[in-house]
Amino acid sequence: MVSVVYLTKNGGKLFQDSLDSVFSQQTDFTFDVIVVDSGSTDGTLELLQGYDVKVYHVKPSEFSFGLTRDYGFSLTNSKIVLAISQDAVPVGVEWLHDLVSPFEDKSVAVVQSMDILPEWSDVDLFYWEKVRKFYYTRDCIKWMEANDNIGISFTSCAIRRDVWEKNQLGKVEMSEDKVFQKKISNKGYKIFFQEKAKNAHTHSYNVVSLAKRCQNEGLGWRNVDNVYTFSDMIADILNKEIWCFLRKGIKNSEIKRLSELLFPFIRPLFIYIGNRFTNTYVK
């Protein structure tokens, strides 16, 4: 009934945690797991030998978020395909059941799960994710306001396969989930936000990786005609609330990295660069 589809490259320990959680799910329906790997060299492929999964490969040079996601979905025969990131760990044993149950309503085309921060003691959370201000900039606000405060994320998202078949992604270098959302929203498909289905997900950044991430986000927004202007950038840099959070983080010694300190400059600046000037995914 359901196919869980991963795109992987050097998944590491979090990928193992994610797989363990997926295979612990308690459901009254069958599901399989499909992995499309694009050149792992860290032991990910060896790890997969211990799980009942189907593994496929694409060359790193041929990887595209849109095309590779389409390829992964095309390998399924299930009624529902579920996209999940290699570093997203489902919470609890009913995550899969809770993601699928809203499809009992025939009008539901997509079910989006809820991201939460991991509570593992060994995780040093990025300050701006911990205070839930990583996506404070106007690009995100514009998108959420235009889409009933729901943002599809392939971090953990279930889709009717026939809906995907009619709305395939094509060659998209970044934000293929938002491209998909725009396609189906324009056609009136129903998106359901499932708060019960939670997955733990976070990132950590140095200055370089943060800048690249934000620049690629800017590029992704251009794929859905979400324009981030120079005025938006200046307004976000001068956002008083963000400066209050910065002062609080410094005062409480929660700002520990240079990337966290410079975040209020880096995020708006590089979203603007990506949105206005970048033409290809920055690796």
Q: What is the pLDDT of residues 33-54, one digit of tens each?
A: 999 999 999 999 999 999 999 9
Which tens digits make up the pLDDT trace of 216-270?
999 999 999 999 999 999 999 999 999 999 999 999 999 999 999 999 999 999 9
Instruction: Classify domain 2-200 at the CATH superfamily level.
Output: Spore Coat Polysaccharide Biosynthesis Protein SpsA; Chain A (3.90.550.10)
Q: Which pLDDT value is given to residue 122?
A: 64
Q: Is 123 a residue whose pLDDT tops 80?
A: no
Q: Which of 203, 202, 165, 191 minimizes the C-alpha distance to 73?
A: 165
Share of the chain above pLDDT 70, in %: 99
Residues 59-72, mean pLDDT to the nearest whole number: 96
Beta carbons of 194 and 111 less than 8 angstroms apart: yes
Residue 128 has pLDDT above 70, yes or no: yes
pLDDT at 119: 82
The answer to whether 203 touches 125, Cβ cutoff 8 Å, is: no
* Averaged pLDDT for residues 191-214: 96
| C-alpha closest to that of 214 among 228, 224, 234 | 228
**How far apart are alpha carbons 238 and 247 in whole angstroms?**
14
Run of H or E residues at 186: helix 176-186
**pLDDT tops 70 at residue 121:** no
Residues paired with 159 in a beta bridge: 81, 110
Mean residue pLDDT across the chain:
96
Q: Is 199 helix (H, G, I), strand (E, B) or coil?
A: strand
pTM: 0.93
Per-domain residue ranges of the chain = 2-200, 207-276
Measured CA to CA in angstroms, residue 58 lies from 5, 25, 65, 69 at distances of 14, 28, 12, 11
Q: Which amino acid is at 274?
A: G
Tell me the per-residue pLDDT of 140-193, one tens digit each, with 9 for 90 and over: 999 999 999 999 999 999 999 999 999 999 999 899 999 999 999 999 999 999
**Beta strands 190-200; 89-90: pairing state:** antiparallel
